[in-house]
Structure formats: structure tokens, C-alpha cells
């Protein structure tokens, strides 16, 4: 099975091979293109070092963003733009390695520390996706490919910094739920044994971009995903029954609420469905870090929230590891994985 990069570079591809033709549902495919300003924006520096008034305003903004969108942009996050650029270049360097070298990481097992591959799950995908990937388990145990040179150091720094940002956001989100600031961080053991997965997506230029799909509609596992990309757009999020094309602010991070935040909050903060479309111009790269609970922890609705709202738990608990296995063994399909847990 060739990766998409190999396919595109192998010759003059003028049309999408049939196995990549992805049919979208025309009834659901209305696209709105939104200015970056329309998407909720969180200035992280105001949350961490702002005045009490600024902090409460950001917490209110987070509440609105998590409840009404499940998605927001984070600016002034403190991660140097140079580190973001180095991370993207390191990813380019990895994908440019000889196929033979990358194949060393083409393991089939979900929990292999480093996996390089194409599409989503070749055993389950009925249609191939216009996407190659590199997935690395980076916390609590750090892993990195040996090449290209410098990759390991950049990845290590990048993962520490994104974990710090996620942890600050989780403090704000805890407050926005009326919980103690460290509630989610403590419960999910963020920073000590919480799980972090690094995912780099490579979407080579496509001769008929409207016929292929980079990543089909899905929600992310975990609590939060922090995403950045090179200069090419492609992310679309589902909002108010429409697809919203996201045009990120320079250097900003895009943050998705993941399925485990939805479970933990008993559905108050829902994970957002999103997809990645492809383009005909150039290779798009996106880099996500999924910040989840420890692999062996059972996530279920927070008793404090359920009791306060006078609700019954709406999801049953399973371990994060089990959840990952279910999601990754099937085709990516909207929120079908989370649907299994609804009570």
C-alpha cells in the first residue's frame, strides 16, 4: 500500500484513483466561510497573568466557547513561533525520509510507540483518505524517531510546552464549570501520568480535491486537542448544522473539545465534529496533540456536576485505553464511538 505522498510523487496524477473517491452527504454539506474573528478566541496570557477582571472575562469566554462551539482559538499562549516553525519543518523532514526508513514505523499495533501510515485504519477504511500520518505516544513515556536529526529535541520541547498550555486551559475550563481550578488536572492526573498523543497529518496536493477527503467527520478522543498547521487551510468544524471553514490566526492554536471532556461534563461541553479537506495547490501539514487522561483510568461523568445539576449520568465509564481501541479499530465516523457509551 503506497502512502499518498508516494502516490503523488510517483508520476503525473491527473485524477483521483477510484479507491480515494469520498462521497459527502449533499444534504449536510453546506459550507460557511467565516472570518477568523468569528470563532471564539481565548487570550491565554489574560487567563494566566491577567487582572481578576480579565481572568473572569476569559473564564466566561471559555464557558461560551466550550458550550456553544466545542472549539476555539488560543492566542498569546507563550509557545514561541520559532518552536512551532521548527516542529513543522521537523515533520516535513520526517516525511521526506526514504520510504524504507519510515517503514520501520509502519507497525500495526495501536499502542506501538511510533506509527507512520496512510489513511486512518487500512483494515476498516472503505474509502482511502488523502492523508499520511505520523503518530507518537509522547507522554507519560516519551518516544521519538531517530531521524531526521534534531527531531527528538524539537518534539520533546513541543510536547512539554503544549502540555503546559493544555493544563492552563483545563484550569480555566474547571473554573468555567464552577469547579475548583485544579479539578480536571487533578482528576485526570495531568502532567504526571496523563496521556499525550502527537499526531502529524500530511495532505499532499490532490488533482481533484473536491473528490477526496483528508480526514472524514469525526470528534477527537481525549479532553482537548491542540492543533496547528502550516500556511494551508483545510480544517472545517461542524457548527449550527453547517461546516465552518477555519482560517487560523497566525501562530495561534486551534483547540477542540474531545470526547472525554464531553463524558466528564456529562454532555455540558460537547466534543466538536470536524473534518480536514484537501487542496490542489500544495502539501498541507497539521500537527495535533491529544491531551487525555491516563490510559488505565475510567472516565465517567464528574459526580459533582451530575449531583449539582440534578442529572443522571448520561455516559457509562470505560478506560481511556479501551476507548482508543474501539475508535481506532473502526472507521472514523462522526461521534459513533462516543455513541456506544450513551446511557
Ligand X SMILES: O=C(O)CCC(=O)C(=O)O
> Site residues (CB under 6 A) for ligand X?
199, 201, 215, 220, 227, 229, 234-235, 274, 276, 286, 288
| Residue 235 contact, options Fe ion, ligand X, none, Cβ 5-8 Å cut-off depending on partner type | ligand X
Q: How far is CA 41 from the centre of its chain?
A: 17
Three-state SS at 179: coil
Write out the H or E segment, with its range, that includes residue 166. Answer: helix 151-176
298-318 burial, b if ≥16 CB within 10 A, otherwise e? ebbbbeebbeeeeeebbbeeb
234 binds, among ligand X, Fe ion, none (CB under 5 to 8 A by kind): ligand X
Q: Contacting Fe ion (CB under 5 A), which of 61, 132, 220, 259?
A: 220
Supply the minimum distance, in Å, between the C-beta of residue 218 and ligand X. Answer: 7
Stretch that binds Fe ion, among 6-14, 181-189, 215-223, 304-312 (CB under 5 A): 215-223
Q: Which is nearer to ligand X, 185 or 283 (CB)?
A: 283
Number of residues in the chain = 343
Cβ nearer to Fe ion, comparing 59 with 224: 224
Of 120 and 183, the one with the shorter C-beta distance to Fe ion is 120
Residue 342 C-beta: closest distance to ligand X, Å = 21
Distance CA 245, CA 231 (A): 14
Part of the chain binding Fe ion (CB under 5 A), chosen from 4-12, 34-42, 218-226, 260-268: 218-226
Q: Which stretch binds Fe ion (CB under 5 A): 157-165, 212-220, 234-242, 323-331?
A: 212-220
Give the integer Cα–Cα distance in Å for 340 and 337: 6
In angstroms, the CA 278 to CA 290 distance is 22
Decide which of Fe ion, ligand X, none touches 83; Cβ closer than 5 to 8 Å per partner kind. none
Instruction: Output 145 or 288, the one with its CB closest to ligand X.
Output: 288
- Measure the CA–CA gap between 67 and 71, rounded to whole angstroms: 9
Residue 8 or 199 having the CB closest to ligand X: 199
Q: Choose among 8, 59, 212: nearest CA to 128.
A: 212
- What is the Cα Rg of the chain in Å? 19
Q: Pick what 283 binds: Fe ion, ligand X, none; C-beta below 5 to 8 Å, kind-dependent.
A: none
Cell matching residue 248: 487560523
Residues forming contacts to Fe ion in the complex (CB under 5 A) are 220
Amino acid at each position: 500500500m503506497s502512502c499518498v505522498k508516494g502516490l503523488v510523487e510517483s508520476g503525473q496524477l491527473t485524477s483521483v484513483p477510484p479507491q480515494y473517491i469520498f462521497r459527502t452527504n449533499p444534504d449536510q454539506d453546506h459550507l460557511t466561510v467565516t472570518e477568523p474573528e468569528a470563532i471564539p478566541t481565548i487570550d491565554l496570557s489574560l487567563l494566566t497573568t491577567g487582572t481578576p477582571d480579565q481572568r473572569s472575562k476569559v473564564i466566561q469566554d471559555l464557558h461560551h466557547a466550550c458550550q456553544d462551539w466545542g472549539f476555539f482559538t488560543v492566542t498569546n499562549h507563550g509557545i514561541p513561533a520559532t518552536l512551532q516553525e521548527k516542529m513543522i519543518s521537523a515533520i516535513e523532514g520526517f516525511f521526506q525520509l526514504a520510504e524504507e526508513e519510515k517503514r520501520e514505523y509502519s507497525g500495526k499495533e495501536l499502542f506501538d510507540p511510533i506509527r507512520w501510515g496512510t489513511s486512518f485504519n487500512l483494515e476498516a477504511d472503505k474509502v482511502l483518505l488523502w492523508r499520511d500520518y505520523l503518530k507518537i505516544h509522547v507522554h507519560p513515556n516519551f518516544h521519538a524517531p531517530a531521524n531526521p536529526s534534531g527531531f527528538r529535541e524539537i518534539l520533546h520541547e513541543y510536547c512539554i510546552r503544549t502540555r503546559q498550555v493544555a493544563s492552563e486551559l483545563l484550569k480555566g475550563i474547571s473554573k468555567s464549570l464552577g469547579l475548583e481550578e485544579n479539578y480536571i488536572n487533578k482528576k485526570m492526573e495531568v502532567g504526571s501520568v496523563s496521556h499525550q498523543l502527537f499526531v502529524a497529518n500530511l495532505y499532499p496536493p490532490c488533482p481533484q480535491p473536491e473528490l477526496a477527503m483528508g480526514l472524514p467527520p469525526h470528534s477527537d478522543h481525549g479532553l482537548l486537542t491542540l492543533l496547528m498547521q502550516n500556511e494551508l487551510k483545510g480544517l472545517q468544524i461542524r457548527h449550527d448544522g453547517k461546516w465552518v471553514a477555519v482560517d487560523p490566526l497566525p501562530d495561534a492554536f486551534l483547540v477542540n473539545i474531545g470526547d472525554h471532556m464531553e463524558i466528564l461534563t456529562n454532555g455540558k461541553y460537547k466534543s466538536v465534529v470536524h473534518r480536514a479537506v484537501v487542496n490542489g495547490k500544495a502539501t498541507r501539514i497539521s500537527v495535533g496533540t491529544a491531551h487525555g487522561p491516563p490510559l488505565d483510568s475510567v472516565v465517567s461523568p464528574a459526580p459533582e456536576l451530575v449531583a449539582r445539576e440534578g442529572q443522571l449520568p448520561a455516559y457509562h465509564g470505560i478506560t481511556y485505553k479501551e476507548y482508543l481501541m474501539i475508535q481506532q479499530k473502526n472507521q472514523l465516523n462522526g461521534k459513533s464511538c462516543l455513541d456506544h457509551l450513551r446511557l
